[in-house]
Structure 1
Amino acid sequence: MALTPQWLDELRMRTTLSAVIGRTVRLTKAGREFKACCPFHNEKTPSFYVNDEKGFYHCFGCEAHGDAIRWLTDQRGLPFMDAVKELAAEAGMEVPAPDPRAAERAEKRASLHDVTAAAQQWFVDRLKSGDGAQARAYLKRRGFADGVVRDFGFGFAPSERQALKGALSFDESMLVEAGMRVDAEDGENFDRFRGRLMLPIQDARGRVIAFGGRILDAEAHPRAPKYLNSPETPLFDKGRTLFNLHRAAPAARRSGRMVVVEGYMDVIALANAGIAEAVAPLGTALTENQIELLWRQVECPLLCFDGDNAGQRAAMRAIARALPMLRPGHSLAIVHMPPGLDPDDLLRDQGKDALERLLAAPVSLLDALWEFERGVSPLASPEQKAGLKARLLDHVEAIQHPDIRALYKRDLLDRFSSYAFPPRKPRNFDRRANWRDKAPVPAMTADAISRLKRAIAGGSRDMLASGVMHGLLRFPDQLARHETALLRFAAIDAEVGPAIDSLLSAAETLDSRDEWPISQIEGLPAPPENIRFAFLDKGTDPVDAREDLAEAVSLLVERPALDAALAEATARFEHDPEGAFAEQQRLLRQKLEFEARLGQMASRKAAAKAARQLDAVGEPDPGAANDTD
């Protein structure tokens, strides 16, 4: 049968919410309620309240709100049914089984949990015994604190092939199904873990579901793997399990970050250093299910893999898995470890502060993707450049969210263009120390003057382009300041591009500290009378005029990209109406902001003109009204 509202209400009624929350949060009695500093956000004054009578908690700071089930799903990251089962077990209620087969599977899992729990206790006892001396010595060499050893449940598996079997009173079939014994088809079954330091692998509820073991005497067993994990069982699905999640989830909600490392020994090393919010996959690349588990805790987990080629490849596999899953606000960030070091090495060699500095400065998924693909091969030929572009576009096409896909495509192609086709080397403007008596009018060839005239005439139909051209004629010392932006614009504008080249050529004859206008050249047209930019008005302060000109250059360079993006979004309507509409609306807002900036420049000119007119009129004479002569 399904979970009815009546059954869930009974569960809530039997659960004392303050007792559940009080396990991880220090509550203080406040009348009929309890209060605490909110575990969902950082605060110094308590605004988090728990009401047992009403059965809910509420934070007046961040608006977190829920009941006991919501607490376990949000604060500890449990799936809904796991939260229900945990509360039901504590309340003495049986969770209705959806069907007989599900009940049978649940019973089997419960029995296997008994096996793994008993095995864990036996491993812990063996570590404390005389047999565990070598394992204890290893833990001491690693510098693990006693509390860390206890909290993580370290144990020891003796070398004998039948030791576990003789110690536990479970059927052989259950031991095999739980992954504790190996089914030898042509011989006697034997214990899977032998001569190893043991570590329990737990689910989100903290129950032991599997084990990992590290070989202690590698010389005596040269063919044995250094680390050995349990096989997949009805309890253990390695692609859906993250080591230490049950401890890291509450810590991550307090700190706002989740650190993902490659192995469980790295997790323990971080915990030993005081970084509790660390998890690790279990012998596989990070899977889609594990990424979803991480996103339940934080929006942008930090991947802190080893600083070798294998670690870099593992990060790229995780990125490839995450790309189709990206959604607004959810991504991954990559922490680059020093070459050849893993987090455990770094902590031992340089201490916690060194690792914290790296964790505080991760690179985005986008940056990591670009850096990796850019470094795959040199770009010495057109074929290699085409290969880089193809790989980048393959990654882009994997992204399912249309807005994120469009933004990634635009950013990666911009980076590709700048990297594969670097901008021209900046011109060397002449910085002569002194002019003689008076600076000469800049020299330009007849052809350059002709091109400049044509460009100004052509640009006159475009008020912004015309204004910028005349502004640069008036203030050629600004050409050096804006050269990179102007060259980028010239490359995509056939009308204005030649004129920009002519202006830059003329500017090479100038002392960039002076302001001799190119507009002194005979034959160049004057600015139109109705032009609306203050930087062309002779009455504008030169400093203000140059800043206004800089704003106009910025607008001129931004406009083609904005227009092109709008055209692309419009073209996408036929096959992606929802995504195209959202992108178009965003771009239209940018277009309105663009027009508003243009309007502000016109307003500044009008204000400056009004101020000059007021100055010309002068202040009224207070005595003039009384003059009767």
Structure 2
Amino acid sequence: MPQIPRETIDQLRNQVDIADVISQDIQLKKQGKNLMGHCPFHEDATPSFSVNEEKQYFYCFSCHRSGDVFSYLEQAHDLSFMEAVEQVATTAGVDLPRESNGPSGESASPNTPLYRLHEEASRLYHHVLVNTVAGQPALNYLTKRGMSRELIGQFNLGFAPARGEEDLLVKYFTQKGIDYQLMRASGLFTEDQTGQLHDRFFDRVIYPIKNANGQPIAFSGRLLTKKATENAPKYLNSPETPIFNKRRTLFNLDQAKKAARKEGHLTLFEGFMDVISAFGAGVRSGIASMGTSFTDEQVAVIARTTDKLTICYDGDAAGQNAINRALTMLAASRLTLRVVQLPAGMDPDEYVQANGQAKFQEYLAHAEETPTAFRLHFLKQGLNLANQSELLHYVEAALREVAKVTDPVERDLYIQQLAKDYHLNPATLTGQVQELAATAAPRPAYPESSPRQPRQAGTRRYQSTPPTTTTAPSTQAPPLLGKVELAQQRLLREMFHNPAVRSHVGAIENFHFVDRPYQLLDAAAKEQLQRTGADEVDVAQLMGELTDAKLRTIVGQIEQRVVPQAAVDETVDDCLAVLVDVAPIEQQIREKTAALQEAAALNDQQLITKLTIELIDLRRQEQKMKTEDVN
């Protein structure tokens, strides 16, 4: 099999955020400097799985698995190293050059050319919008809707000009020599009866649709003028292709999921412009579906990203109906839901333009209501509550909603409100709610919504090779070690990241680490530093180069041995004292103990006595040297 150059693998590792890859399997939340989630490799009662975005590696505090993005895919999805590299390359939209006997231009995935085609189309549409006369009307339209140049660039908005003598995109890709069949498969074109391709989008503002990794996979075009296309739809979306499935796609998920890790929730809007306007107003967690009703697949994607969702729709009748449909779809999920209704007749885009960014953020923060509170208002639609029959019908429906609430305080709040509003006896309402709750069927768990269930991707290696610890709760710290091993870990961490420490240790004559694993890690780190010329070790790269899982685990542990900057010198001196003074004595104790066992097996009493006395003396020396346990 052709090999991929090491430099290419290193570049690829840096191009893809490991958190983006792992968050497709488990939900990650910001905790301190790292992201935390439930470990996919063992039953995890509390989040013990840490992802370091800065250094691009993962480490589990319970089962102690560790590695870079490639080793994660190898372990979590039972892939070979080459398969893991190719999956990451596909995610990044990168072709993998081969060192030998591979076909020229061989791609990591058959879909890679489609990703590249959409990327080029997106750049072209954006160029037309911001740099050409043809794009000026569309640019004026977006500017009037409150879009700044920065925001237009952030979402890479574009414009497909009206049809002229030649189709813009057809001409552009034909001149670049793009294969006809690839163009047909892209969804960017329509085909007439003669087989001639034509641009699918024309005279439309273009909204690139990206996947969770930020790659353009489709487009949505908003009609700019009617002219001769009176019957054309206001919005036109790309058809489904090998890289675009509208049931699984959420607009702006690539940016929103990063905000969700910090803020703890996503915000669902009705349309693309709502998401973009909210983003410009500082609300970065916004997403939208593809102009259709919510799907099971989209709900599952949200549930893997966060456990809290805010629905922010227009407050008019159409918006309320849309909220109700969304809540119905989400009812079986494990998401914590909140609803924000904007003033009737205003969508987020219009609210931002009318009231400004600060007011919009303030409104979102103070206008939240629970799904039950929304439903209690929604059920009143179309009813004349002055009519006793319709009032009874409403109260009965309202109590059924309240009966679904499991929190006793929240349930009592709704009962008291109903009793106050309609002059009813709270005790009577409570009794009815309890009867309804007792007979209600348990709410089913939504499929695939658990944040700890990885997506299905073949047999997972962790099912057949369970870690050493399968039920231990998270300790949020590396395991306790002996004095010598702990000294080796702490010293290596400082050597990884501090050139001055490396120089200091290197000046010690005949210094070497005591145990073989640390000798190997020291050698691997020095080799990387010499090869790259860097000042500190790239931990993710080091993990990726280690074929021994035990060594990757040790690197993960080493990276947790952080000491304050002011204590580095003292820590290094303490570690060296242990390794230079205590370690040799421990080694002698091990050797004498082995010799004593051999003498006992031979029943050599004279040698047994001699070795016993020597062991006692060594243990006295060891005890004398011991300082406070550095654990």
Alignment TM-score, normalising by the size of structure 2: 0.51
Instruction: Indicate yes or no: 2:321 matched with 1:313.
Output: yes
Q: Kindly state the Cα deviation for residue 113 of structure 1 after the two structures are TM-superposed.
A: 2.2
Query: 321, 341, 348: which one pairs with 2:346?
Result: 341
Q: Contact 1:396/1:408 (CA < 8 Å) preserved in 2?
A: no
**Secondary structure of 2:219 counterpart:** strand
Distance verdict in 2 for CA 1:55–1:248, change over 3 Å: closer
Give the Cα separation in 1 of the matches to 2:444 and 2:229. 61
Q: Kindly state the Cα deviation for residue 259 of structure 1 after the two structures are TM-superposed.
A: 1.6
Count of matched residue pairs? 392
Distance verdict in 2 for CA 1:197–1:49, change over 3 Å: closer
Q: How does 1:489-508 map to 2 (within 5 A)?
A: none
Give the Cα separation in 1 of the matches to 2:211 and 2:326. 22
Q: How does 1:428-439 map to 2 (within 5 A)?
A: none
Give the Cα separation in 1 of the matches to 2:443 and 2:93. 51
User: Residue type matched to 1:38 in 2?
Assistant: K
Query: 85, 88, 91: which one pairs with 1:86?
Result: 88
Q: Kindly state the Cα deviation for residue 219 of structure 1 after the two structures are TM-superposed.
A: 5.2
User: Residue type matched to 2:204 in 1?
Assistant: R
Q: Contact 1:18/1:50 (CA < 8 Å) preserved in 2?
A: no
Give the Cα separation in 2 of the matches to 1:365 and 1:577. 15
Give the Cα separation in 2 of the matches to 1:282 and 1:91. 23
1:369-391 deviation per Cα after TM superposition (whole angstroms, max 9, x unaligned): 12101334124556535644675
Q: Contact 2:205/2:224 (CA < 8 Å) preserved in 1?
A: yes
Instruction: Indicate yes or no: 2:160 matched with 1:157.
Output: yes
Q: Contact 2:89/2:108 (CA < 8 Å) preserved in 1?
A: no
User: Residue type matched to 1:111 in 2?
Assistant: P
Give the Cα separation in 2 of the matches to 1:167 and 1:92. 21
Distance verdict in 2 for CA 1:322–1:390, change over 3 Å: farther
Q: Kindly state the Cα deviation for residue 334 of structure 1 after the two structures are TM-superposed.
A: 0.7
Give the Cα separation in 1 of the matches to 2:295 and 2:409. 22
Query: 367, 370, 374: which one pairs with 2:380?
Result: 374
Instruction: Indicate yes or no: 2:143 matched with 1:148.
Output: no
Distance verdict in 2 for CA 1:49–1:107, change over 3 Å: closer
Give the Cα separation in 2 of the matches to 1:116 and 1:316. 35
Q: Contact 1:242/1:290 (CA < 8 Å) preserved in 2?
A: yes
Distance verdict in 2 for CA 1:213–1:55, change over 3 Å: closer
**Secondary structure of 1:291 counterpart:** helix
1:412-468 deviation per Cα after TM superposition (whole angstroms, max 9, x unaligned): 994797389633xxxxxxxxxxxxxxxxxxxxxxxxxxxxxxxxxxxxxxxxxxxxx
User: Residue type matched to 1:341 in 2?
Assistant: M
In structure 2, the partner of 1:360 is 365
Q: Contact 2:157/2:205 (CA < 8 Å) preserved in 1?
A: yes
Give the Cα separation in 2 of the matches to 1:138 and 1:577. 47
- Determine which structure has greater relative contact order: mean sequence separation of CA pairs < 8 Å that are 6+ residues apart, divided by chain length: 2
**Secondary structure of 2:329 counterpart:** helix
Q: Kindly state the Cα deviation for residue 341 of structure 1 after the two structures are TM-superposed.
A: 0.6
Give the Cα separation in 1 of the matches to 2:14 and 2:111. 30
Question: Which is greater in Rg?
Answer: 1
Q: Contact 2:312/2:340 (CA < 8 Å) preserved in 1?
A: yes
In structure 2, the partner of 1:512 is none
User: Residue type matched to 2:349 in 1?
Assistant: D
Give the Cα separation in 1 of the matches to 2:319 and 2:360. 16
Q: Kindly state the Cα deviation for residue 333 of structure 1 after the two structures are TM-superposed.
A: 0.9
Query: 326, 333, 336: which one pairs with 1:326?
Result: 333
Give the Cα separation in 2 of the matches to 1:71 and 1:395. 47
In structure 2, the partner of 1:243 is 251
Give the Cα separation in 2 of the matches to 1:395 and 1:364. 12
Among all aligned residue pairs of Structure 1 and Structure 2, give the percentage whose two residues are the same amino acid: 27
The CA RMSD measured in Å over matched residues stands at 5.1
User: Residue type matched to 2:383 in 1?
Assistant: S
In structure 2, the partner of 1:111 is 113
Give the Cα separation in 2 of the matches to 1:343 and 1:220. 31
Q: Contact 1:245/1:279 (CA < 8 Å) preserved in 2?
A: yes
Distance verdict in 2 for CA 1:302–1:82, change over 3 Å: farther
Distance verdict in 2 for CA 1:488–1:166, change over 3 Å: closer
Instruction: Indicate yes or no: 2:173 matched with 1:168.
Output: yes
Q: Kindly state the Cα deviation for residue 231 of structure 1 after the two structures are TM-superposed.
A: 2.1
Give the Cα separation in 2 of the matches to 1:576 and 1:145. 49
User: Residue type matched to 1:335 in 2?
Assistant: V
**Secondary structure of 1:363 counterpart:** coil
User: Residue type matched to 2:132 in 1?
Assistant: S
Give the Cα separation in 1 of the matches to 2:244 and 2:90. 23
In structure 2, the partner of 1:201 is 209
Q: Kindly state the Cα deviation for residue 339 of structure 1 after the two structures are TM-superposed.
A: 1.1
User: Residue type matched to 1:273 in 2?
Assistant: A
1:298-318 deviation per Cα after TM superposition (whole angstroms, max 9, x unaligned): 322111112322211111110
Give the Cα separation in 1 of the matches to 2:291 and 2:204. 17
Q: How does 1:206-217 map to 2 (within 5 A)?
A: 206-217=214-225
Instruction: Indicate yes or no: 2:140 matched with 1:132.
Output: no
Q: Contact 1:347/1:355 (CA < 8 Å) preserved in 2?
A: yes
Give the Cα separation in 1 of the matches to 2:274 and 2:230. 23
Structure 2 unmatched runs, 5+: 1-5, 21-29, 37-49, 74-82, 97-106, 446-631
Distance verdict in 2 for CA 1:69–1:419, change over 3 Å: farther
Q: Contact 1:50/1:58 (CA < 8 Å) preserved in 2?
A: no
Distance verdict in 2 for CA 1:72–1:345, change over 3 Å: farther
User: Residue type matched to 1:228 in 2?
Assistant: L
Give the Cα separation in 2 of the matches to 1:121 and 1:411. 56
Q: How does 1:396-435 map to 2 (within 5 A)?
A: 414=415, 418=419, 422-423=423-424
Alignment TM-score, normalising by the size of structure 1: 0.52
